[in-house]
């Protein structure tokens, strides 16, 4: 491909960037750049040059490197160049699984490993650290064009207060990596499924409350009610069922000071509530078992195979005896390694904070949708032979983060577990980071398998006393990143909630996540989500 025709690269650009983008020729003599909706490349350059420039700019879009809160800091040309030199390699590495093999040589893995988010690259660009100029094929970042493009994107439910808060946002750590939201987020498949299922909805609520105020925003504002922050449970009632010897302290990430607060949160495992005459059926009503059957299988030595890596001595001897006896021998005399053994431990974290008691976007409450999904996932995974645990969580300040073990890994799945699940009542707040850290610790300690998956079922509203919007979102993202560095796959699902897609991305960050209107639609997307999350963990382990 020489000369013009760069428009034909639009499909490739959309696949690499995870969004619908066009490709247009750049002005003569200018470097490649993007405004978020189009990628401009040199129409007179060689095919290799155009593909390299396209790969870099599309990967920046896919990795969240050009989001508005980042772009606002890149209006100075020198800062933008320093940021591009560092972030370009990180973005390419994050998008490596989608890059054609010849373009993967663009990645400087040493530079890519210097940071794990756009925030880290931005901090380096703003520091006095010596950073070489970006390669020519990286193109350029034109921050003002980007911001102008974002400002002209129509929004369905404009909220002046929310827009003002987003304008003042100081947390820039909202990176998305190669497994970021494959369904319902950054991936091309995710964008398509978002449109198909109408997953993207705008949160039309009030702004975040103060640090010591009640913390959950009401979604009643979308239905004519007042916009308020609330909790439906008194502080004293949470501590009555605390179990002796099950208090654990965890650190918390302070995004404002860019450091951890050691032993800041206390997690309590509390006895599950149990109400009379309340039960759920132990069944898989949404047909998730078929979608999940292919995941979590480990290699197992299978004897008496037609082909394999080793000889099955017993089968070979029997075959020789058959020949000597004048019978036709059995040809299955090999041992082969086949993926037949289930090797997956899954811990589900169910959000039961006060906000999930609100009406869902498609009828019923958010809690009902997420509880139904938790039950279906637990049953399907258990029937497949996986080790599965289910914990519910809520909080009342940093010293009282409650986790309710509805089903531990070694518990039987029976009517009692379903009665516990049915008895859960939403209330209090959501210190999401502490719940994720405890869930990851339980998964690693008691999972008992080489493959581990943490599934978070939450509306994505991470709030508590002193755990306001920016702070809480950053801590939740950091907790998920910690869990993934430990080799755990992470998947975050928001089911039935009307939380905005940008809000979910702030809270869940680069972990695979999706917003699904109804629990019964889970079967359409659970396969790609599990695959992306587990593959991400395997890549990190390697």
Rounded Cα gap, residues 314 and 323, in angstroms: 14
Handedness of CA 321, 324, 328, 331 (dihedral sign): positive
Rounded Cα gap, residues 121 and 534, in angstroms: 27
Helix or strand (DSSP H, E) at 497: none
Q: Looking at beta carbons, which pairs linking 202-205 to residues 24 or more positions away fall under 8 Å?
A: 202/155, 202/156, 202/157, 202/159, 202/498, 202/500, 203/162, 203/498, 203/499, 203/500, 203/503, 204/157, 204/159, 204/162, 205/159, 205/162
> Regarding beta strands 334-342 and 297-305, do their DSSP bridges make them parallel or antiparallel, or are they unpaired?
antiparallel
- The predicted pLDDT at position 340 comes to 56
What value does the CA radius of gyration of the chain take, rounded to a whole number of Å? 25
- The predicted pLDDT at position 116 comes to 77
Rounded Cα gap, residues 328 and 330, in angstroms: 7
Rounded Cα gap, residues 369 and 362, in angstroms: 10
Contact 118, 174 (CB under 8 A): yes
Among residues 70, 51, 42, the alpha carbon closest in space to that of 12 is found at 51
Helix or strand (DSSP H, E) at 86: helix 77-94
By 3-state DSSP, what share of the chain in percent is helix, strand and coil, each rounded to 5? 40, 20, 40
Rounded Cα gap, residues 435 and 442, in angstroms: 11
Domains of the chain: 6-153 (no CATH), 188-287+344-541 (3.40.50.410), 298-342 (no CATH)
Among residues 448, 231, 226, the alpha carbon closest in space to that of 347 is found at 448
State the pTM of this model. Answer: 0.54
- The predicted pLDDT at position 388 comes to 94
Which tens digit of pLDDT belongs to each residue from 11-53? 888 888 888 889 999 887 889 999 988 999 988 888 888 999 9
CA distances from 228 to 206, 208, 220, 425 (A): 7, 10, 8, 20
Counting as low any pLDDT under 70, the low residues of the chain are 1-4, 151-246, 276-287, 294-301, 337-341, 539-542
- The predicted pLDDT at position 385 comes to 86
The Cβ-side half-sphere exposure at 382, using a 13 Å CA radius, reads 23
φ, ψ (nearest 5 deg) of residue 85: -60, -35
Per-residue three-class SS string for 255-301 = CCCCEEEEEEEEEEEECCCCCCCCCCCCCCCCCHHHHHCCCCEEEEE
Rounded Cα gap, residues 232 and 426, in angstroms: 7
């Amino acid at each position: 491909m020489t000369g013009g025709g760069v428009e034909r690269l639009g499909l490739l650009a959309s696949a690499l960037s995870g969004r619908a983008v066009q490709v247009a020729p750049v002005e003569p003599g200018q470097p490649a750049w993007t405004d978020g909706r189009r990628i401009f490349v040199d129409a007179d350059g060689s095919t290799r040059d155009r593909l390299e420039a396209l790969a870099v700019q599309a990967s920046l879009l896919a990795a969240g490197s050009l989001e508005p809160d980042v772009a606002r800091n890149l209006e100075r040309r020198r800062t933008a160049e320093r940021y591009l030199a560092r972030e370009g390699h990180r973005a390419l590495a994050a998008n490596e699984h989608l890059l054609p093999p010849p373009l993967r040589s663009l990645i400087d893995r040493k530079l890519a490993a210097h940071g794990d988010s756009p925030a880290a690259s931005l901090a380096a660009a703003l520091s006095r650290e010596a950073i070489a100029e970006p390669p020519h094929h990286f193109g350029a970042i034109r921050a003002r064009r980007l911001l102008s493009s974002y400002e002209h994107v129509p929004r369905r439910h404009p909220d002046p207060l929310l827009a003002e808060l987003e304008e003042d946002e100081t947390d820039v750590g909202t990176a998305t990596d190669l497994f970021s939201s494959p369904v319902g987020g950054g991936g091309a498949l995710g964008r398509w499924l978002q449109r198909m299922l109408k997953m993207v909805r705008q949160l039309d609520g009030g702004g975040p409350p103060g640090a010591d105020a009640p913390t959950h925003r009401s979604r009643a504002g979308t239905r004519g009610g007042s916009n308020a922050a609330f909790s439906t449970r008194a502080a004293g009632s949470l501590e009555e069922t605390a179990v002796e010897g099950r208090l654990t302290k965890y650190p918390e990430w302070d995004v404002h000071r860019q450091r951890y607060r050691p032993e800041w949160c206390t997690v309590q495992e509390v006895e599950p509530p149990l109400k009379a005459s309340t039960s759920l059926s132990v069944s898989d009503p949404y047909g998730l078992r078929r979608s999940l059957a292919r995941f979590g299988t480990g290699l197992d030595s299978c004897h008496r195979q037609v082909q394999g890596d080793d000889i099955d001595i017993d089968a070979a001897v029997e075959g020789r005896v058959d020949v000597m006896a004048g019978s036709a021998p059995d040809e299955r005399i090999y041992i082969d390694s086949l993926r037949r053994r289930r090797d997956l431990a899954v811990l589900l974290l169910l959000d039961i904070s006060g906000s999930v008691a609100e009406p869902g976007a498609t009828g019923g409450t958010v809690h009902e949708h997420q509880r139904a999904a938790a039950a279906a996932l637990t049953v399907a995974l258990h029937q497949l032979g996986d080790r599965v645990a289910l914990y519910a969580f809520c909080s009342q300040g940093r010293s009282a983060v409650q986790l309710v073990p509805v089903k531990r890994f070694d518990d039987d799945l029976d009517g009692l577990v379903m009665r516990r699940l049915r008895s859960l009542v939403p209330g209090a707040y959501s210190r999401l980071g502490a719940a994720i850290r405890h869930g990851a610790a339980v998964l690693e300690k008691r999972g008992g398998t080489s493959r581990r998956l943490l599934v978070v079922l939450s509306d994505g509203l991470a709030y508590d006393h002193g755990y306001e919007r920016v702070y809480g979102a950053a801590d939740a993202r950091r907790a998920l990143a910690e869990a993934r560095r430990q080799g755990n796959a992470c998947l975050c699902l928001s089911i039935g909630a009307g939380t905005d897609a940008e809000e979910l991305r702030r809270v869940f960050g680069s972990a695979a996540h999706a917003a699904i209107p109804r629990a019964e639609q889970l079967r359409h997307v659970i396969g790609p989500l599990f695959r992306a999350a587990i593959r991400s963990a395997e890549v990190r382990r390697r």
